[in-house]
Amino acid sequence: MTGAKRGGLFTLKGRTPVPSTPGKAWDRWCMDIKGRRVARTITPTADIDTLFTGINNAQDGEPPLLYETVVNGGALHGRVERHVTWEEADTGHNRLVMEVVQDEERRGYR
């Protein structure tokens, strides 16, 4: 998938991204948040959510960035990281959770 066009659409077959086309079928597929979720962790101060977005956010010619981790709340509120693969997204999610937990421990939330 190297070189996929920015803004291109994808769905998942298992954990493998598959190019898709705009339309109602993609819209319906995208509504299945549970099927697109890589991981979600809720801590005392934050909600860290990692999803397959189905939209390529990379620059043209770069590997598609199809996964996104968003932190809502806590010291990292607003942090967004994008990933190329399911495995990278899972690793990135866990790293951000650890950063949030370490901050919570420093602040006495744990």
| Nearest-angstrom CA–CA distance, 58 and 64 | 5
pTM of the model: 0.90
pLDDT digits (tens, 9 = 90+) for 41-79: 999 999 999 999 999 988 878 889 999 999 999 999 999
- Residue 86's alpha-carbon distances to 5, 17, 77, 78, in angstroms, are 19, 9, 23, 21
Q: What's the distance, Cα to Cα, between the start and end of the chain in Å?
A: 42
Give pLDDT tens digits for 81-94: 999 999 999 999 99
